[in-house]
Amino acid sequence: MKGKQLFAKKIAESTVGVLTEDEVLKRIELPKYQEQGDLAFPCFELAKVYKKNPASIATELATKTKSSYFSKVVSEGPYVNCFLNKKHVSKEVLAEILTKKEAYGSLTIGQGEKVTIDFSSPNIAKPFSMGHLRSTVIGNAYANILEKCGYKAIRINHLGDWGTQFGKLITAYHRWGNEQIVRQDPIKELLKLYVRFHEEAEVDSMLEVEGRLWFRKLEQGDKKALELWQWFREVSLEEFKGIYKLLNVTFDSYNGEAFYNDKMEDTIQLLKGERLLSTSQGAEVVTLEEHNLPPCLIQKSDGATLYATRDLTAAIYRHKKYQFAKSVYVVGQEQSLHFQQIFLVLRKLGFNWASQLEHLPFGFILQNGKKMSTRKGKVVLLENVLREAIAMAEKSIEEKNPTLQNKSKVAHDVGIGAIIFQDLKTEPQHSVEFSLETMLRFEGATGSYVQYTHARACSILRKSNRYKGNESLDGLADEPSWSVVKKLMDFSSKVQESYEQAKPSEIATYLLSLCREFNKYYAHCKILHEDNKLASRLALVECAAIVIKEGLRLLGMQAPSEM
C-alpha cells in the first residue's frame, strides 16, 4: 500500500464512523513547503463534528497515526503533516512500477462497463478543418483515460452526412461538376462546388429551390441522388481516415446522421405516446419551460426532422445496442443548450439512463487571440497543419541531431505530438492559442519537452552496461530522487482526477511536473556513478520513462526513445 493510501487509512481508523478512507484520501493535500512534510490532512471538517478546535484535533490525530512507512507525523496548526519514510516508500514504488510496467496507475472504477464516447464528427463533402481538431484529440484522450480506469470505451464518429446541404451539393455537381476532376481531389473540388452554389444563389434564387428539391429526392430514395450522396460519403470518409491515421485515432462506429433516418419515426411516436409533443407555429416541440429553457424542436411544419430528433434517436439506439453505463458527447460549448434539451427530453420519456449522459464541452482554437478564420471557401485544413508540423520537426531534428536513426518516424511523432499536447494541456472549456513555433519548442510547457525528457531517460539506460532491470533495489532518500518518486506515486490519483473531471489536461499538467522533477534529478545527480545505489538510481530512471510513456499514450501521443 502506497504512503498516501496508508496515511488515509490511518486517519480514517482514528476518526471511526466520521470519514471513510476514500473521503480522507480526497481531502489529503500536498504541503506548500517541503519542510512541512509529504502529505497533509486538514481538520476543519472534523471540527464541526467533534465541536473542537481543528488544531487540537490535529494534535490528537498526529499522536495516533503511526506506521513504519512514516518517519514522523506531526501537527501544524489545523493540519496533520506526514513525513513518509523515504527509503521504505521509494523502494516499494519503484518495485511496483517495474513489475506492472504500463499497467501502473490503472484503476478498476469502470469494472468493464461500457461508455460510448461521441467525438470528432466532421461533415461529409467538406474539408477536415482545424475546427474538428479539439473534439478529435480530447475525445480520443478521454476514451484512453476511461479504459485506464477499467471501462470499455466505444468510440463513435457521428458523421455529419445528412441535411439540406447535400441537395445544394448535388445541384452544384449537376450544373458545374466534372467527375474526372472531382475524382482527382474530391474534397477540394466538392468544396469549390459548394462555395460556387452559394455565390450563384445570391443572384439566382431558384438555385435554393432546386437544392431543396434534390434533397427531397434524396430523402425519398431517388436512385441518382442516393448514388451521388453515397459517393460523396465514401470519398470523404477515405480522406478523413487518412487524417485519423496521422493522429493515430480509431473508431468503433462511423454511423452518422443518415443512419438514423429510418429510426426517427419510432422516436416521434414514442414522444406522442407519452403526450410530450405540442404544436408551436406549426412545428412539433417538447416544452421545457419548467426548466427555464426554450422548447426542443422535434419536427418542422413541413415534416422535416432536426438535429434534436436524430440525437434523441441516436441516444436510444446506442443504449439498446451497447447498454452503456455512461455516454459522453465531446462537442463544442456552443452546443451546450442543445444537449441540455436532449438530456431533459430523454428524462421526460422515462429513461433512467438519461442521467448518465454527459456533454464534455470545449472552447475554440484561436490564432493571435481570434477564432481561426473560416472565410468563404477558405478553411484552415488540419492535414496541412499536421504535415507542416512534421516538416518543422524534421528540420529541427536535422539541425540538432542529424545522425539520428528513423528521423522521419521521430519527426512524425514529435510534430503530431506537439499539436495534440498544445491542445490537451489546456482545460477543455478554455480556448487554445495556436502557434506551431511555440508547440515545437524542446523547452517549456510543450509536448516536445515531455517527449525529449522520455528520450533522455532512455538514453541514460542505454549508456549503462550494468543495469539489467532485475537487480535488488535499495530505497532512495536524497531529495532530488525523492521529488521524482513522489511524482510517480501521484500517477494513479491524476488518472482518477482526469476521469472524474473529464479533463485530459490533468494528465498533461502532471507530465510536465514529472518531467521538471526528473530533469532536476538529472542535473543534480551523477546517475551513472559506480556505487551501491547505481541500480536504484537507474531503476528510478526506468520508472520515470515508463510513466512518461504511459501518460503520453493516454493523451494519444508517441514516446520516441531517441530525439
Q: Which three cell numbers stand for residue 295?
A: 422548447
Residue 377's pLDDT band, with cuts at 50, 70 and 90, is: very low
Does the pLDDT at position 3 exceed 90?
Answer: no
Does the pLDDT at position 164 exceed 80?
Answer: yes
Q: Which of 110-124, 427-441, 469-483 has the highest mean pLDDT?
A: 110-124
pLDDT of residue 1: 53
* Residues forming CATH 1.10.730.10 domain(s) in the chain: 382-555
- Classify domain 3-84 by CATH number: 3.30.1360.70
- Lowest-pLDDT range of 28-42, 113-127, 299-313: 299-313
What counts of helices (H) and strands (E) characterise the chain? 22, 13
Does the pLDDT at position 210 exceed 60?
Answer: yes
- Identify which of 145, 138, 115 has the alpha carbon closest to the alpha carbon of residue 328: 115
pLDDT of residue 480: 95
Q: Quick check: pTM over 0.95?
A: no
Does the pLDDT at position 101 exceed 90?
Answer: yes
* Span 9-24, average pLDDT: 91
Average per-residue pLDDT for the chain = 93
Does the pLDDT at position 375 exceed 50?
Answer: no
Inter-residue contact 154 to 116 (CB < 8 Å): yes
* Span 201-229, average pLDDT: 94
> In percent, how much of the chain has pLDDT > 90?
82
* Residues forming CATH 3.30.1360.70 domain(s) in the chain: 3-84
Residue 365's pLDDT band, with cuts at 50, 70 and 90, is: confident
Go through 10-49 and write b for each residue having 16 or more CB atoms within 10 A of its CB, e for each that does not.
bbbebbeeebeeeebbebbeebeeeebbbbbbbbeebbee
Q: How far apart are CA 155 and CA 169, in angstroms?
A: 29
| 273-285 pLDDT tens trace | 999 999 988 899 9
| 167-194 pLDDT tens trace | 999 999 999 999 999 999 998 899 999 9
- Here the contacts of 383-390 (C-beta below 8 Å, separation 24 or greater) are 383/128, 383/242, 383/243, 383/246, 385/130, 385/419, 385/436, 386/243, 386/246, 386/247, 386/415, 386/416, 386/419, 388/436, 389/415, 389/416, 389/418, 389/419, 389/436, 389/439, 389/440, 390/415, 390/416
CATH architecture designation of domain 382-555: Orthogonal Bundle (1.10)
